[in-house]
Each structure stands twice: as C-alpha cells, then as structure tokens.
Amino acid sequence: MQQDLFTRLFKADMVLFNMQAENNTEVLTKLYEHLYQKGYVKESYLLALLEREKKFPTGLATIPFAVAIPHTDSEHVLQPCIVIAKLAHPVMFQEMANESNYVNAHFVFALVLNDSEKQVGMLGTLMGIFSNEKMMERLARADSAQAILQVIQSNLAYAS
C-alpha cells in the first residue's frame, strides 16, 4: 500500500529544486503556478491556499531542518500529488503548533489531495519522515529530484 501511495503521489516533475523565494507567499505562489501549469489544481487553489495558511499555519519546527506542509480543501484539486520544494534559502512560515512562533523552513511539502479523508493519513506518513533526523539529513544532501524521491521511497518502504 505504501508503494502504491508513493507511485500515485510523488512524481519527479513535482520536485522543485533550489527554489528561490523571499517569503512564504512567494513560495506558495510558485507552487501554485507549477501545479496549475501542469493541470493539478484549479485557478481557485492559490487564494484558498493563501487564506488557509493565514488561518492555520503549516510550519513545523522539525530537527534538523524545519518544514512547511501547506494544503487546502480538496475542491480546488484536479489531480492528487505532493509537490516538494527544496528551498535555496530558508523561508519563514508561521509555526503550526505555536502561532506566535516562526520557523525557517528548508523544505515545503504541499499536500495536493482530492480526498480530504486521506489527508490525515498522509500527514502522519510525512511526519514519520520529518521526525527522522537521518532522513531529513539525507533530504538536505539530495542533489536531484530523483535523489529526493529515493529518500522518501526508502522511508515509506521502511515504515511499511
């Protein structure tokens, strides 16, 4: 089941490597532009994503590298996937667990799911990666989209 999940949601063309962005709005906008151009989301996705990020921040103070996991309602999604951005420089996101704090996210894993019931399970799967320092260090060292996908695939295989 984990392998099937990997094949369906993680795709090399959805890994954005060394993304340049000044702030989280620019990160989210670039993610939207990529997703929209590839036919994964509706035009309404960007506004919904930005609004949700304001109300429910997605930054996680994971060690050794903070991440953000933006997502929005399934009604804005045409095709499910997870888009991964490895940022060229960390970008501040408001912390999920403590909205008065900010984290400098090195990675963004945007959940683009059209089945809201699977969102919680996917968050749990990703938290398994984010809480594993060795996996996060391997992601940081990854020098290609394929290398990032291999790290994730090895974690999913390990978890199953």
Buried b (16+ CB within 10 A) or exposed e, 48-72: bbbebbeeebbbbbbeebbbbbbbb
Whether the per-residue pLDDT at 115 is higher than 80: the answer is no
User: pTM score, two decimals?
Assistant: 0.93
Give the CATH number of the domain where residue 100 resides: 3.40.930.10
Domain count, the chain: 1
Whether the per-residue pLDDT at 1 is higher than 60: the answer is no
Residue 7 pLDDT class (50, 70, 90 cuts):
confident
Region 71-75: what's the mean pLDDT? Answer: 93
Tens-digit pLDDT profile for residues 126-156: 888 899 999 999 999 999 999 999 998 887 7
| Domain extent at residue 87 | 2-159
> What is the reported pLDDT for 155?
77
Long-range pairs, 112-116, Cβ under 8 A, ≥24? 112/35, 112/40, 112/41, 112/71, 112/77, 112/79, 112/80, 112/81, 112/82, 112/83, 113/71, 113/74, 113/77, 113/80, 114/74, 114/77, 114/78, 114/79, 114/80, 115/74, 115/80, 116/73, 116/74
> What is the reported pLDDT for 153?
85
